[in-house]
Amino acid sequence: KNEVEQSPQNLTAQEGEFITINCSYSVGISALHWLQQHPGGGIVSLFMLSSGKKKHGRLIATINIQEKHSSLHITASHPRDSAVYICAVSKGRDQFYFGTGTSLTVIP
Amino acid sequence: ETGVTQSPTHLIKTRGQQVTLRCSSQSGHNTVSWYQQALGQGPQFIFQYYREEENGRGNFPPRFSGLQFPNYSSELNVNALELDDSALYLCASSLDGRATGELFFGEGSRLTVL
């Protein structure tokens, strides 16, 4: 069993739709990261959370520490949002666990 | 643009060979971590270096080793390459090694082992 589980694995949406990607984890964590990976490999850090909620533009990330669950929301989705979204958790200074990612395709 | 660069971007090796991958971190970031990402999978943590010392390691054999240098660059070395080592290798830098530090990733080095 993976320490980090994401759902859905694949997601196709029409441009403008509201999108939610979920992440559940089974270990105690120091922080949770949402990452975006475009084809070709480059990863960009979107959010780092240890509690509550963060917003950046059309992206919103929430975390519930008690339930060990986080969600990434994209409002008014756009084709340029098409990417793989990865949830990762850090536990202490030397342990990182990654989900397998959610592949998002936004159709114009 | 994360300020983290990796080289080479692509390379092909044969089984049994050795490979060195390089990463140049953001200036001032004294922590670097390395990850292996197989096709279709999420990244797997290999190890982390903080101020030139390894201070954390994932479930990888000793033939995966690393170095970190004072100029914020680092290396990942893999000896006795196996076919399953084919993957994208990512490095990420962060400030001062805090577990809550934001990660800045490079574009990765794609290794193919034949």
- Which of the residue ranges A11-15, A33-37, A94-98, A104-108 would you say has the lowest mean pLDDT? A94-98
pLDDT in tens, A45-71: 999 998 999 999 999 999 999 999 999
Residue partners of A67: CB distance under 8 A and separation at least 6: none
Q: Minimal Cα distance from A87: which residue of B?
A: B42
Q: How far apart are CA B47 and CA B44, in angstroms?
A: 9
Q: How far apart are CA A97 and CA A31, in angstroms?
A: 11
Residues of B in contact with A97 (CB under 8 A): 45
Cis? peptide before B43, omega within 30° of 0: no
pLDDT in tens, A13-34: 999 999 999 999 998 888 899 9
Q: Which residues of A touch B (CB under 8 A)?
A: 4, 30-31, 33, 35, 40-45, 48, 50, 86, 88, 90-101
Output the CA–CA distances (angstroms, integers) from residue A54 to A57, A80, B17, B79, B83, in the order listed: 10, 21, 46, 42, 41
| B54-B7-B85-B51 Cα dihedral, nearest 10 degrees | 0
Residue A30 DSSP label: S
Mean pLDDT computed over every residue of chain A: 92
Output the CA–CA distances (angstroms, integers) from residue A81 to A12, A53, A105, in the order listed: 11, 20, 8
Residue partners of B1: CB distance under 8 A and separation at least 6: none
Q: Is B104's CB within 8 Å of A42's CB?
A: no
pLDDT in tens, B24-40: 988 888 889 999 999 88
